[in-house]
Structure 1
Amino acid sequence: MKLFPAHPTLWATLLVLWVSQSVTEDNNLDVCQEDIDVGLVRVQDSTAMEDHVEKTDVEEKFICLLYPTNILNCSWSFDTSEKDIQLSVHMSFCDEDTAVHSLYNSSAERVGSVSLDLSEHKMHHYVILHLNMSQHNEWKTYTDKYDMELLEVLSPPQNISASIKDGALHITWDVPHSRSDFSPRCFTYELDMGDQEETKIFTDKQSYTEPNADPSSTYKVRMRTVLADTCHGSPEWSDWSQAVTVEQSAYKLNHVVIVSISLGLPMILLAMLLLVCHQRVSKVLFPPIPRPPAKYKYFLEKSDAFNFFHPAPPAKTEEEITEVEETEPNTEKSF
């Protein structure tokens, strides 16, 4: 369980004193030679009680982790409201049963951490964290022993590659770097593809395919790793890797979209053309019945090919004759 940030930033500033081996050899030698099981916490108090318990059964929280940057970080948290409690922290580095050097702080904060860069130091076999909580004449100590090979927090998976092909999201990666020679089956991975999907966890894989990838979505792929339960090592997850952004290219359209555009666009253009050129199209589709001029009509009636270029004679006007009868006057008298 990771309590505090593991990088050189400290939750509480500690006055850490390097004590030479010659001065503290007697005390450190006793600590390194004590029979303390890795994974169990030895609890002692002023009543002469001594017990070895699981770390999960201890109310107080403390842990040591070794990060890929060669930073060893030990952090602790004592949840108590009593102001007069004193806390001292003692760290011993051991090779087999021999103490090499130690770190000591006689007045540590109740919530704090200490970090040590091991880049310039030899990697030791064990580190022992000893915490002493005292109040008046009462005291209680916690002693936790760590195997340095089991403290390593893995780096994120290497060479993450992601691409969309044939409607599926393809992701590949390499196993993370570690100081120990772990088998690929020892690594458990957590895959985060962004807000579109829930995280996925799987073991002993170096590739993953997400079918039916949404072409309109942008995927931000990142991963982290931890050792599987079947392999001995730190139970802490690594940091998240840098996100790899994957999005569907503009020219890689869905087949349905391509067919829709191919059929729909010509129909739209044809409809616009019909609206603009309605009259012209109507004349082309429905031409008027031809009516020849009068001279061609006369020619057709006579069936005379030689008069084709002669104008038709004008129509004869009909004369209307009106006869007027003259009547003689009646000279006879009538009685």
Structure 2
Amino acid sequence: MAPAQAQMGTIFLLFIGISKAINDVQMLKPIDLSIEVLILGEVLLSWKPNVNPELESYVVKYNVLIKTPMKEEQYTTQNNSTKRMVALHKGLCAQVCAVYYEREKETARSQWAKAKLQAPPGANGTSITNLSCVIYTEASNNTAMDCSWLPGEEAPEDTQYFLFYRYNIHLEECQNYSRSHDGKRHSSCQFAKTDIQITEDTIVVIYVNGSSKHSTIKPFDQLFNPSTIERINPPMNITVALKQESLCAEWMKPVSVWPSPCFTYEINVSDWVTGSTKQLTVKDNSICLLTNSQSRYSVQVRAAGSDLCGNSKQWSAWSKPVFSDKPQKASVLLLLFLVYGALAGIMLLSAVLCTRFQLHRRLFPQVPAPRNPFKDLLSYNEAPTEGALEVISDIDDPEPNE
């Protein structure tokens, strides 16, 4: 027991001695820290190490802190330089300090070395505002991008804006602008085809500058992750059919670089007879629901990214309504059956009433036949019938005149 305690005490004293030794040594901060703009939205920070010779046995790493008015980022590197993508329209401050490690444990760090990158020139209030961009995949599998913005409140009336995008080393200026309602300024831009890959670990830099005869227009830049601004297309080729007492719908995934498991779907089923609607969320590209076979239904589907992938979680637009065919035919047959049944019932009822109340004699009495005079002449010798008048003619011959 005693030897173990003695060993622990020796280790403790050794640690205290090392700590005192480090504290007694001056920690020198890195020197010649500089910031260089390499390309739109990307800077290179570089510095020179400045390690005290007494601490060369320690592992030295560098803690880097980058600050902008919009963002703050801190990370560690063992290199003497580092590249970072960052929006630069409001300038940048960078700080670096040396961190000393022994046995993977931090023991000390130097003071901060500091450098500053000034914001680009331009009058305040002249840069664009409310920049918004969406990326989407067309039927041809081209990746397209649309961006829109508002003019700066202090921008002169003759200000004209110009947009550029950078993806990796590709830099391109917009060639297809739309103008504001007054027809003067560019207010949006459309790229029908880009080199952008919609992944969760890439960055697109959007840069907008401007020109005016009356003022220097301040530029504006913003960084986007393509997967977060992706506008997902609606699902395709939706089919709807009634199968006995079930309504079944199937569809294909949206036009996209993402595979089928990367999508979640929302289905809107409308009953056009009762006016009711039902919404369901599914992960498959088909569904069957118990329904009333005599109703008429329409189905709409929209898509969003699932948790399995890095695509956008925003819902797409609804697809156009697709109607079930069989309920419509069944409704027509039912209507014809009811009409013909009603007519048959009316005819049967009419026949019964006519027989019961002899309505046919009242409505259609028998017309007597006309008297035949020739028949009377031919039957003069017949005995008179009872009740008939007999005319007897008894006329004496006149006497001769005397």
TM-score in terms of structure 2 length: 0.44
Q: Is 1:128 the equivalent of 2:197?
A: no
Indicate if the aligned counterparts of 2:233 and 2:316 stay in contact, CA closer than 8 A: yes
CA distance in 2, matches of 1:194, 1:83: 53
Q: Is 1:89 the equivalent of 2:162?
A: yes
CA distance in 2, matches of 1:214, 1:79: 56
Amino acid paired to 1:75: C
Indicate if the aligned counterparts of 1:175 and 1:206 stay in contact, CA closer than 8 A: yes
Aligned counterpart, 1:74: 146
Aligned counterpart, 2:303: 225
Aligned match for 1:156, one of 234, 241, 256: 234
CA apart distance, 1:229: 5.5
CA distance in 2, matches of 1:49, 1:245: 58
CA distance in 2, matches of 1:225, 1:28: 40
Aligned counterpart, 2:171: 101
CA apart distance, 1:84: 0.6
Aligned counterpart, 1:44: 90
Indicate if the aligned counterparts of 1:93 and 1:128 stay in contact, CA closer than 8 A: yes
- The change in CA–CA distance for 1:271 and 1:238 in structure 2 (over 3 A counts) is same
Indicate if the aligned counterparts of 1:157 and 1:223 stay in contact, CA closer than 8 A: yes
CA distance in 2, matches of 1:89, 1:251: 60
- The change in CA–CA distance for 1:144 and 1:197 in structure 2 (over 3 A counts) is farther
Aligned counterpart, 1:322: none
- The change in CA–CA distance for 1:261 and 1:112 in structure 2 (over 3 A counts) is closer
Indicate if the aligned counterparts of 2:41 and 2:223 stay in contact, CA closer than 8 A: no
Q: Which has the higher strand share?
A: 2
Amino acid paired to 1:115: F
Question: What's the % identity of the aligned pairs?
Answer: 14
Mark the runs of 5 or more structure 1 residues left unpaired by the alignment: 1-26, 51-57, 282-335
CA distance in 2, matches of 1:164, 1:117: 41
Amino acid paired to 2:134: C
Aligned counterpart, 2:250: 172
CA apart distance, 1:250: 3.7
Partner SS, residue 129 of structure 1? strand
Indicate if the aligned counterparts of 1:194 and 1:221 stay in contact, CA closer than 8 A: no
Partner SS, residue 136 of structure 1? coil
CA apart distance, 1:141: 2.1
Indicate if the aligned counterparts of 1:90 and 1:130 stay in contact, CA closer than 8 A: yes
Q: Is 1:144 the equivalent of 2:223?
A: yes
Amino acid paired to 2:222: T
TM-score in terms of structure 1 length: 0.52
Aligned counterpart, 2:354: 276
Amino acid paired to 1:164: L
- The change in CA–CA distance for 1:151 and 1:89 in structure 2 (over 3 A counts) is same
CA apart distance, 1:129: 0.6
Indicate if the aligned counterparts of 1:160 and 1:244 stay in contact, CA closer than 8 A: yes
**Deviation per CA, 1:153-197, whole angstroms, max 9, x where unpaired?**
43332332212344543322233342133525x323343648744
Amino acid paired to 1:171: A
Aligned counterpart, 1:10: none
Q: Is 1:60 the equivalent of 2:150?
A: no
Indicate if the aligned counterparts of 1:45 and 1:140 stay in contact, CA closer than 8 A: no
Aligned counterpart, 2:39: 30
**Deviation per CA, 1:135-164, whole angstroms, max 9, x where unpaired?**
8357352322444x6655433323322123
Amino acid paired to 1:144: L
CA apart distance, 1:277: 1.9
Aligned residues: 236
Mark the runs of 5 or more structure 2 residues left unpaired by the alignment: 1-35, 44-83, 93-116, 121-127, 180-184, 360-402
Residues 289-304 of structure 1 aligned to structure 2 (within 5 Å): none
Indicate if the aligned counterparts of 1:94 and 1:127 stay in contact, CA closer than 8 A: yes
CA apart distance, 1:251: 4.2
CA distance in 2, matches of 1:113, 1:104: 6
CA distance in 2, matches of 1:203, 1:113: 36
Q: Is 1:191 the equivalent of 2:281?
A: no
CA distance in 1, matches of 2:234, 2:190: 24
CA distance in 1, matches of 2:313, 2:187: 22
CA distance in 1, matches of 2:269, 2:188: 31
